[in-house]
Amino acid sequence: MLDFFERLEKHRKEEKQLAWEGNFRDYLELVAKNPHIAQLSHARVYDMIKNAGIEENEGTKNYNFFSDEIFGLDKTLQRLIEEYFHSAAKRLDVRKRILLLMGPVSGGKSTIVTLLKRGLEKYSRTDEGAVYAIRDCPMHEDPLHLIPTELREGFQEEYGVYIEGNLCPSCRLTLEAKYQGRIEDVPVKRIAFSEEERVGIGTFTPSDPKSQDIADLTGSIDFSTISEFGSESDPRAYRFDGELNKANRGLMEFQEMLKCDEKFLWNLLSLSQEGNFKAGRFALISADEMIIAHTNESEYKAFISNKKNEALQSRIIIMPVPYNLKVSEEVKIYNKLINQGDLNNIHLAPHALRTASMFSILSRLKESKKQGMDLVKKMKLYDGEDVEGFKQKDLMELQAEAIDEGMSGVDPRYIINRLSSALITQDTVCINALDVLRSLKDGLDQHPSITQEEKERLLNFVSLARKEYDEIAKKEVQKAFVYSYEESAKTLFNNYLDNVEAFCNCVKVTDPITEDEIDPDERLMRSIEEQIGVSENAKKTFREEILIRISAFARKGRTFDYNCHERLREAIEKKLFVDLKDIVKITTSTKTPDEEQLKRINGVVERLVNEHGYCSTCANELLKYTGSLLNR
Ligand SMILES: Nc1ncnc2c1ncn2[C@@H]1O[C@H](COP(=O)(O)OP(=O)(O)OP(=O)(O)O)[C@@H](O)[C@H]1O
Ligand SMILES: [Mg+2]
Ligand SMILES: [Zn+2]
Ligand SMILES: [Zn+2]
């Protein structure tokens, strides 16, 4: 972090650069040095995203531009950027179509567009993203528009830049009246995009279709000056202040596009199609801007089911923006929303958000037809966890089975609202997973527009999430009971491996204490294997497979530890817990603990607080709860 005065200095330098002004001749010098500054809007948007950096991760690209704010939409963003932004930047045909983001409520559509808008504002202030415009143009248009059509081909060859579009009526008039057609004298300045100042960034929101005026988009006749200039076709009597005018060179967001009247849509389409639109009594006006619209699925469905809209449809590129389907990414969304709101001074017990997130994700998933697959397994698999019978490589098939998955379900806002409401009714300093589930459930009861069937489906997800949480809670407590959990697991694991090795090689093991040669400890091995259902008949293969894995690891110079084998780890964990179960059960559920038990409980609470993110309130609640679970 720079200190304040360094930042001030930097800011001053930036402002000075931003204040660049010259004439068209000076501008051409800049273009000759750096043709980049003359690029069209779509290419500028793409460059901005690319410049922020791209990280490749197992075939999916992660775009740093979005990664602080958008979670779990990697595939969606990749498709958006490659299929639309990148192709449009290369001036392929897609840029002539309007981009329509389509997805469920609160799925991040507006956030994506807002990031692009704020991003462009910043980018236009940097060297790489610099934009220049004819100084007095109401649409801050591209200075290259000054070049007469006849000279363009030669210019393009010489400078290596592509020119698109024609001078606006206002500039045309000024060029003749003020500069006698000498384009080299026309003033040019650097501009910075700013939605607030209506430069290069615009937003259009439909109002009542009946009263909505097309002028909001294309500008309007200025009735106060019309008598002065005598004619409606005099550009001085026209205000180029529609959203399409103002967003020229940059980006216009079209909110809720399909709520608009048809005539609006047609106007918009001719803009994107031909790069120009009709305003007032003028010839077509050129505009170079990316138009991003968004809509929800039901409006989209109504729109495409209407035959009348066919022509419109073919001029739109639909980009689905489904909900995130990864539990751990959903947690990040909640954390982001919580930090933005006023919830951030209460304690959220560990796993509270995760539990809520499991509920949301379950509600968004589609049942699979695959044998042995259920929603909970699917949820885990999607989040990168291998489950019984399925591995990450099966993901593709599962996804192919449910193409429009994520287009419905519980939205992130609902969860945040329920968290707030839990907070208010509870009047406490800490919310745990059970409080969250309770509040989600109450919310369903109060929900006005939900069918009985849907309600039951969702209630079922509440109980599935609860079951998952129960497992997590038990594990957490049991872990906290072991003074050093990792250490114990490691010891048990090594002990098991020594025995397996001796068993497979038909040799004896050395007793660590007496140093006697003894037979491998069959009881120990079985007590671990039984935890994950390895039968007597299968035990030999299981053990041999483990030895093979160990030598494979050794060949690569890696050490095989208990985290390297998913099933073996599970077995070790379970075995440790079984050994502990009685002691945990008794300690957590006695009403009158003796001194020894009390010491133990305090130790566990302390570990939960110091090492696992609990406060003393939720740590004690957790102990009580798991006590009751273990006694069932
Ligand atoms: N995948 C996501 N990553 C990060 N934040 C998200 C994600 N999905 C939703 N959000 C957050 O949820 C909130 C609602 O999202 P947003 O307003 O962008 O949704 P929307 O798709 O425009 O919804 P609507 O159709 O209701 O206008 C925002 O605060 C947004 O940051
Ligand atoms: Mg929105
Ligand atoms: Zn102009
Ligand atoms: Zn707490």
Give the global pTM. 0.85
- The chain-wide mean pLDDT, for the chain, equals 88
Q: Who's near 560: CB < 8 A, 6+ residues apart?
A: 549, 550, 553, 554
- Choose one of 111, 259, 319, 364 to mutate for the ligand 1 pocket test, by most ligand atoms within 8 angstroms of C-beta: 111
Q: Is the CB of 296 under 6 A from ligand 1?
A: yes
Atom in ligand 1 nearest the alpha carbon of residue 340? 29
Residue 356 to residue 334: CA distance in whole angstroms: 9
Q: Judge contact between 259 and 220, C-beta under 8 A.
A: no
How far is residue 516 CA from its own chain's centroid?
60
CA distances from 368 to 348, 375, 379, 388, 409 (A): 33, 8, 11, 15, 16
Token digits for 345?
């001074």
Tracing tokens 């990697």 back to the chain, one arrives at 74
User: Closest-lying ligand to the alpha carbon of 140?
Assistant: 3
Comparing 277 with 285, the larger pLDDT belongs to 285
Residue 113 burial (CB count, 10 A):
21
Distance of CA 301 from the midpoint of ligand 4 (Å): 45
Ligand 1, atom 18: nearest CA belongs to which residue? 108
Tracing tokens 């959990």 back to the chain, one arrives at 485
Distance of CA 101 from the midpoint of ligand 2 (Å): 10
Distance of CA 501 from the midpoint of ligand 3 (Å): 82
Q: Is the CB of 417 under 6 A from ligand 1?
A: no
Q: Who's near 523: CB < 8 A, 6+ residues apart?
A: none
Q: Judge contact between 394 and 381, C-beta under 8 A.
A: yes
Q: Is the CB of 111 under 6 A from ligand 1?
A: yes
Q: Is the CB of 295 under 6 A from ligand 1?
A: no
Tracing tokens 């780890």 back to the chain, one arrives at 569
- Choose one of 70, 106, 115, 257 to mutate for the ligand 1 pocket test, by most ligand atoms within 8 angstroms of C-beta: 106
Q: Is the CB of 70 under 6 A from ligand 1?
A: yes
Ligand 1, atom 25: nearest CA belongs to which residue? 105
Distance of CA 80 from the midpoint of ligand 2 (Å): 17
Comparing 543 with 480, the larger pLDDT belongs to 543
- Phi/psi at 304 (nearest 5 deg)? -75, -20
Q: How confident is the model at residue 427 (pLDDT cuts 50, 70, 90)?
A: low
Residue 313 burial (CB count, 10 A):
13
- Choose one of 259, 333, 340, 415 to mutate for the ligand 1 pocket test, by most ligand atoms within 8 angstroms of C-beta: 333
Token digits for 578?
């079984």
Q: Is the CB of 414 under 6 A from ligand 1?
A: no
Token digits for 547?
């030895």
User: Closest-lying ligand to the alpha carbon of 337?
Assistant: 1
Q: Judge contact between 190 and 131, C-beta under 8 A.
A: yes
Residue 437 to residue 419: CA distance in whole angstroms: 9
Q: Which of 157, 159, 179 is closest to 167 using CA atoms?
A: 179
Least confident piece of the model among 45-49, 296-300, 448-452: 448-452
Question: Tens digits of per-residue pLDDT, 598-610?
Answer: 888 888 899 999 9
Angle (nearest 5°) at CA 201 between 197 and 204? 100
**CA atoms within a 13 Å half-sphere pointing along the CA-CB vector of 522:** 5
Q: Judge contact between 607 and 616, C-beta under 8 A.
A: no
DSSP assigned state of 162: -
With 90 as the cut, is the pLDDT of residue 448 above it?
A: no
Distance of CA 323 from the midpoint of ligand 1 (Å): 9
- Predicted confidence at residue 588, as pLDDT, reads 75
For the chain, percent of residues with pLDDT exceeding 70:
95
Atom in ligand 1 nearest the alpha carbon of residue 69? 4
User: Closest-lying ligand to the alpha carbon of 186?
Assistant: 3
Q: Is the CB of 115 under 6 A from ligand 1?
A: no
Q: Is the CB of 364 under 6 A from ligand 1?
A: no
Q: Is the CB of 387 under 6 A from ligand 1?
A: no
Q: How confident is the model at residue 148 (pLDDT cuts 50, 70, 90)?
A: very high
Q: Judge contact between 329 and 72, C-beta under 8 A.
A: yes
Q: How far apart are the first and last CA of the chain?
A: 55
- Predicted confidence at residue 426, as pLDDT, reads 62
Question: Tens digits of per-residue pLDDT, 306-329?
Answer: 888 888 888 889 999 999 999 999
User: Closest-lying ligand to the alpha carbon of 613?
Assistant: 4
Ligand 1, atom 29: nearest CA belongs to which residue? 337
Q: Is the CB of 108 under 6 A from ligand 1?
A: yes
Tracing tokens 């897609």 back to the chain, one arrives at 94
Residue 355 to residue 436: CA distance in whole angstroms: 8
Residue 376 to residue 239: CA distance in whole angstroms: 58
Residue 564 burial (CB count, 10 A):
14
Q: Is the CB of 326 under 6 A from ligand 1?
A: no
- Predicted confidence at residue 52, as pLDDT, reads 95
Comparing 20 with 573, the larger pLDDT belongs to 20
Distance of CA 146 from the midpoint of ligand 3 (Å): 9
Angle (nearest 5°) at CA 199 between 197 and 205? 80
Ligand 1, atom 13: nearest CA belongs to which residue? 106
- Choose one of 110, 118, 297, 327 to mutate for the ligand 1 pocket test, by most ligand atoms within 8 angstroms of C-beta: 110
Q: How confident is the model at residue 77 (pLDDT cuts 50, 70, 90)?
A: very high
Report the amino acid identity of residue 17: Q
Residue 441 to residue 473: CA distance in whole angstroms: 20
User: Closest-lying ligand to the alpha carbon of 609?
Assistant: 4
Atom in ligand 1 nearest the alpha carbon of residue 112? 18
Atom in ligand 1 nearest the alpha carbon of residue 114? 18
Residue 14 to residue 126: CA distance in whole angstroms: 8
Q: How confident is the model at residue 132 (pLDDT cuts 50, 70, 90)?
A: very high
**CA atoms within a 13 Å half-sphere pointing along the CA-CB vector of 485:** 20
- Predicted confidence at residue 256, as pLDDT, reads 86
Q: Is the CB of 602 under 6 A from ligand 1?
A: no
563-566's contacts with Cβ under 8 Å and 24+ in sequence apart are 566/386
Q: Which residues surround ligand 3, an ion (CB under 5 A)?
A: 137, 141, 168, 171
Residue range 406-411: average pLDDT?
94
Going by DSSP bridges, is the β-strand pair 316-320/98-102 parallel, antiparallel, or unpaired?
Answer: parallel
Residue 8 to residue 461: CA distance in whole angstroms: 53
Atom in ligand 1 nearest the alpha carbon of residue 296? 25
